[in-house]
Structure 1
């Protein structure tokens, strides 16, 4: 190195040196854009409000703040406006709590209802399941003396005589409808509108005054798991296979079954009853795998569409819990700060956002205030909401075949269909529909079919 270069470096080092005062920092190292951002936006509050008290516009504003901070290289972990050192800390992106795999929306999307239908004499009770939306685009609703099928695309209506219905459920391909009444169970062919098992009337189990109250189909076959008002759970298929899964397994048979739900890969199914107990069973052997005690009767059961062992529970105390069934651990919990009840849960197959049906109460008078639908990216973050549109409890959240719409129904005898996400959004990479069946799951499903049949 030449003498001239050495003198130049010494001169540059001397020019960069700065004397510090004990009270006045050097203005040379002040980032005025970052300082202005720190003054305007207060980041001192670390507590997150309850999801029922959050404003749905807070999430888009938070995204904007994050984008703005990234442009000016702002560090959320730093509270210094006038730094004493010359080294600017690198920007750290906001890390939101992630409880499950999800692709949340960047701004609210749900507006006014796409369609509103009247359901006269709709028997909306806590322990019955009388509404479903099948893959054939028919919405089935059990009214007083019949089950009515309504096509959301053509508005075609098909009545099926089935008085005193207690449970209905479409099969996975939407071509067969399971219906149960007080004295029989039937499977209807949608093309002929006639029952497939018309030659005989079947009972659920051997107990007196037994009627099916909850049912779900195995995702890859023609097998149903049914629960009755006497508390028994039965695996049944069209070939006549029948097995009572909770017989002799130290499970009470005196409480009505409220909900039954299969995991997306068919390895487990969960059941809940009035006794504040949720049981997880293995399939197809029907062995009790996990017993979960909740704070109240649980109607909301939702399996994650990608993380197949993740089960979300919501009870009438307003509490929610996310369980990893495979290792029997709790992933996350939610306890409300206000008095409310959770009546229904549903994961979106497209975005994996969790949709919750909350019924809010007045803490002083214990009277109902309102019912609202919340779209959650986690247990502490609301990204969309519907409120002021429901006069009573919402007991049903049902997805359209393509997952872009959701139907709500409850005690107000009204069915409302909402555009959950735009059709054009599905083509984008951020909202690409999740592929549920990996090669391993397909092989496993074929094995299940062979065993159960």
Structure 2
């Protein structure tokens, strides 16, 4: 598969010039609106003929060609200083990113030497699952249950009952030091989908009964991540190397897999374009159309020292948050810009130079962003102190019917 790779501008330089860039765009929009400079917002296309030379004016827009996904980007920088900092005793293991999750109700689960702790956004511990060999944890969509994978077992912890409601062994899990495990929940929380070394398995939430298991060794060497599309029609998997595979849901039928040139480190589905998938591979970003099996856009950072670590799309604005790391000497540092398109950075987290991020996720309303740097958890207001999207309302509420999709979305 051949595609033309475009180079992203220098990320550091774009972030430094954010305020100036926003001011220029605001002045340009104002002058175009007031027609201070004729034809400022127009492109002239010349048409030649034997007798006359005419010009046709076309409205200048940034939408379809420059912006490859639905997005209503901010017109100024909104992310200020961190709103809240929590110092929690999290795991010291290398795979600590799998042992952290943030529920739709604002609860943080994280692994430490005593098991899996559950705290609120003020750092107050609300519960503890005393499972010391956990590999990965994942909150249900309604935030009431926590699925936990160990080397050989799967546990379902009920937050309200403050205990595990089932604990089963799994043949697909392996007690290997660096074995891969991943978890995702179905639309209505009826099923838990587990990915491991060689299989994708589906368990019934109420009973822990194994519903189906598909061995993936003939498609991919192992499964290191699983993510549902917003319409829950597709399931994308990665194998920790250069391959990603597409499965249909709920039948878990294998569709196809693609091998890239660099290791895949992150994937994210667009919240409203269910067939659009962003893939972070090496120092590159790829926009992929799952239905057509085609690349929509492909951009790469200039510097070879850059590496994509995490991707997350905001459901309210359609802006893409990209976590890159870059090398200086023998150390790697983090930089987290907000993208309106692959060519346009509109904001960034004001991180300290030495910050190293191992976790990045939005809260239930997508107005707050949480990051983790070792044992320090930081909560950021993504749209500034006074959000343009109004009062925060949880996407999922146990007192009403579970939704699984965003009820309100101003993305146009």
User: TM-score category by the smaller chain?
Assistant: 0.7 to 0.9
Q: Deviations over 1:23-53 (max 9, x none)?
A: xxxxxxxxxxxxxxxxxxxxxxxx9834453
- Is the 1:349–1:434 Cα contact (8 Å) retained in structure 2? no
- How much does 1:110 deviate? 0.7
- Is the 1:145–1:164 Cα contact (8 Å) retained in structure 2? no
Single out whichever of 207-216 and 347-356 deviates more from structure 2. 207-216
* Residues 204 and 111 of structure 1: CA distance in aligned 2, closer, same or farther (over 3 Å): farther
2:202 alignment partner in structure 1: 235
1:258 alignment partner in structure 2: 224
1:93 matched to 2:55: no
2:106 alignment partner in structure 1: 137
Q: 1:129 aligns to what SS in structure 2? A: helix
Unaligned 5+ residue runs, structure 2?
1-6, 45-53, 397-402, 404-412
CA distance in structure 1 between the partners assigned to 2:275 and 2:147 by the alignment: 26
2:24 alignment partner in structure 1: 61
Unaligned 5+ residue runs, structure 1?
1-46, 79-86, 436-441, 443-453
* Residues 92 and 334 of structure 1: CA distance in aligned 2, closer, same or farther (over 3 Å): same
Match of 2:134 among 161, 165, 168: 165
1:407 matched to 2:370: yes
* Residues 53 and 194 of structure 1: CA distance in aligned 2, closer, same or farther (over 3 Å): same
2:347 alignment partner in structure 1: 384
1:348 alignment partner in structure 2: 314
Q: How does the TM-score come out when normalised to structure 2?
A: 0.80
1:147 matched to 2:120: no
5 Å-filtered alignment, 1:22-41, equals none
Q: Deviations over 1:2-33 (max 9, x none)?
A: xxxxxxxxxxxxxxxxxxxxxxxxxxxxxxxx
- Is the 1:133–1:139 Cα contact (8 Å) retained in structure 2? yes
Runs of 4+ in 1 over 6 A off after TM superposition: 87-91, 431-435
- Is the 2:8–2:301 Cα contact (8 Å) retained in structure 1? no
1:421 matched to 2:383: yes
* Residues 48 and 92 of structure 1: CA distance in aligned 2, closer, same or farther (over 3 Å): farther
Rg (Cα) greater in structure? 1
5 Å-filtered alignment, 1:336-375, equals 336-339=301-304, 340-362=306-328, 365=329, 367-368=330-331, 370-375=333-338
5 Å-filtered alignment, 1:69-88, equals 69-71=32-34, 72=36, 73-75=38-40, 77=43
1:217 matched to 2:185: yes
- Is the 1:126–1:395 Cα contact (8 Å) retained in structure 2? no
Q: Which has the higher contact order (CA 8 A, sep 6+)?
A: 2
1:325 matched to 2:290: yes
1:277 alignment partner in structure 2: 243
CA distance in structure 1 between the partners assigned to 2:190 and 2:310 by the alignment: 26
- How much does 1:105 deviate? 0.7
2:233 alignment partner in structure 1: 267
Q: Deviations over 1:351-370 (max 9, x none)?
A: 111011110124xx5x3353
Q: How does the TM-score come out when normalised to structure 1?
A: 0.74
1:117 alignment partner in structure 2: 86
- How much does 1:332 deviate? 1.0
CA distance in structure 1 between the partners assigned to 2:387 and 2:300 by the alignment: 36
* Residues 386 and 208 of structure 1: CA distance in aligned 2, closer, same or farther (over 3 Å): closer
- How much does 1:124 deviate? 5.7
Q: Alignment RMSD, CA only?
A: 3.2
- How much does 1:434 deviate? 11
1:176 alignment partner in structure 2: 145
- How much does 1:279 deviate? 1.0
1:33 alignment partner in structure 2: none
Q: 1:67 aligns to what SS in structure 2? A: helix
* Residues 286 and 272 of structure 1: CA distance in aligned 2, closer, same or farther (over 3 Å): same
- Is the 1:126–1:258 Cα contact (8 Å) retained in structure 2? no
Q: 1:220 aligns to what SS in structure 2? A: coil
- Is the 2:104–2:395 Cα contact (8 Å) retained in structure 1? no
* Residues 163 and 206 of structure 1: CA distance in aligned 2, closer, same or farther (over 3 Å): closer
1:49 alignment partner in structure 2: 9
2:409 alignment partner in structure 1: none
CA distance in structure 1 between the partners assigned to 2:147 and 2:103 by the alignment: 11
1:295 alignment partner in structure 2: 261
- How much does 1:66 deviate? 2.9
